[in-house]
Amino acid sequence: MRTLRLRYLALAIAAGSLTGCAADVVMQNPRTDESATCRPSLWGLNPWSQQEACIGDYITRGWIRSVHD
């Protein structure tokens, strides 16, 4: 039983530390110079999934990643 608790604790610590690694990504419209920020989700177990969906959505509309943050 104690081993199971330690595994859950290790999983929670790993998930919490991974969410801190994801950084905001700034997208830019090359025609209008408008910019938007894709932020990672703090509530999901995989913070990159929603951020990558946001980035992909902007890319399909012709936006690019900003070279200057």
- Domain span at residue 26 reads 2-65
pLDDT of residue 40: 82
- On average, the pLDDT of the chain sits at 77
- Position 54 pLDDT exceeds 70: yes
- Cβ count near 40 (within 10 Å): 21
Q: Tell me how many domains the chain contains.
A: 1
Nearest by Cα to 21 from 43, 49, 54, 48: 48
Which tens digit of pLDDT belongs to each residue from 19-51? 455 688 999 999 999 999 998 876 656 656 888
Helical H segments across the chain, by residue range: 2-19, 47-60
Higher local confidence (pLDDT), 2 or 37: 37
What's the pTM value of the predicted model, to 2 decimals? 0.60
* Residue owning tokens 């801190």: 20
Provide the token pair at 29: 């419209």
Residues near 62 by Cβ (< 8 Å), separated by ≥ 6?
29, 30, 31
| The pLDDT value given to residue 23 | 84
